[in-house]
């Protein structure tokens, strides 16, 4: 049996949502404990929800569970608005982290070295919902963008997601190759949440779809 997936991600593998509307104070990400953990560049991660509630940045499969049913860590107590953002979604969630990305050296390095696919669905039982990832950009990085490619080596398959403050988007990161180009000069912070595809996520996404442009007469 196949995993349950969202129709809305079928064509492109990602969807850009309406911006986050709740105020998130900088202390919520600045006060967290960050671990040295490299993924897609010079990164550090603060773990908000892990497989067992400890400050463990590893994939849930390391503890024998799929990337679902995340347990809040001590860090999450310092970030009540971020925690509420996840809980209010009413979607089954797994790993939740804040990424701190230091400035990139070049666009070329991002596409030649850092593009990768995530391993979101290891141990995910057949017939359950496919795990995808949601982002909220916390810092204001309008000149930065996430590169998404269906084929790692084919730029014609590329889409770019701009990253101003409060940008929200959902990506099937096991399908799409991805990495962020961030010129800096300050680090970029964003929250990343693993969500299970299913009716709850569909409802959450639908409520955040940008309004379609009105047709020209
Ligand atoms: Fe990734």
pLDDT tens digits, 3-17: 999 999 999 999 999
Say how many Å lie between the CA of residue 117 and the centre of ligand 1: 6
Say how many Å lie between the CA of residue 177 and the centre of ligand 1: 8
> Which 3 state secondary structure label does DSSP give 63?
helix
In a domain, 100, yes or no: yes
pLDDT digits (tens, 9 = 90+) for 61-101: 999 999 999 999 999 999 999 999 999 999 999 999 999 99
In a domain, 103, yes or no: yes
Residue 32 belongs to domain spanning: 7-207
In a domain, 213, yes or no: no
In a domain, 212, yes or no: no
Per-chain mean pLDDT for the chain: 95
Rg from Cα positions in the chain: 17
In a domain, 1, yes or no: no
- SS3 for 99-165 is EEECCCCCHHHHHHHHCECCCCCCCCCCCCECEEEEEEECCCEEEEEEEEECCCCCHHHEEEEEECC
Dist CA 19 CA 210 (whole Å): 9
Dist CA 54 CA 62 (whole Å): 13
* 90 backbone φψ class: left, alpha, beta (φ>0; ψ -120 to 50): left
pLDDT digits (tens, 9 = 90+) for 152-177: 999 999 999 999 999 999 999 999 99
For the stretch 13-42, what's the b/e string if a residue is b when 16 or more beta carbons lie within 10 angstroms of its beta carbon?
bbbbbeebeeebeeebbeebebeeeebbbe
The two most distant CA atoms of the chain are separated, in Å, by: 57
pLDDT at 163: 98
Residue ranges near ligand 1 (ion) with Cβ within 5 Å: 118
In a domain, 19, yes or no: yes
Dist CA 86 CA 127 (whole Å): 24
In a domain, 217, yes or no: no
For residue 160, give the CATH number of its domain: 2.60.120.330
Say how many Å lie between the CA of residue 217 and the centre of ligand 1: 42
Tokens of 94: 């797994």
When divided into structural domains, the chain yields a total of: 1
Tell which residue, 127, 116, 114, 123, has the closest CA to residue 95.
Answer: 123
> Which 3 state secondary structure label does DSSP give 96?
strand
């Amino acid at each position: 049996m196949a995993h349950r997936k969202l129709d809305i991600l079928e064509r492109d593998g990602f969807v850009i949502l309406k911006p986050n509307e709740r105020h998130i104070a900088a202390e919520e990400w600045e006060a967290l404990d960050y671990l040295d953990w490299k993924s897609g560049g010079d990164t550090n991660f603060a773990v908000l929800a892990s497989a067992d509630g400890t400050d463990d940045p590893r994939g849930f499969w390391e503890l024998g569970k799929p990337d679902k049913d995340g347990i809040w860590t001590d860090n999450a107590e310092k970030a009540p608005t971020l925690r509420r953002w996840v809980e209010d979604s009413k979607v089954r969630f797994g790993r939740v982290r804040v990424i701190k990305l230091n400035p990139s050296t070049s666009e070329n390095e991002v596409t030649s070295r850092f593009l990768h696919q995530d391993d979101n669905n290891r141990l995910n039982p057949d017939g359950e919902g496919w795990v995808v990832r949601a982002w909220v950009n916390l810092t204001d990085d309008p000149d930065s963008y996430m590169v998404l490619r269906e084929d790692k080596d084919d730029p014609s398959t590329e889409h770019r997601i701009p990253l101003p403050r409060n940008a929200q988007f959902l990506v099937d990161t096991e399908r799409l190759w991805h990495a962020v180009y961030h010129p800096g000069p300050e680090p970029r912070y964003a929250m990343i949440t693993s969500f299970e595809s299913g009716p709850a996520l569909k409802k959450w996404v639908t409520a955040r779809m940008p309004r379609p442009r009105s047709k020209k007469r």
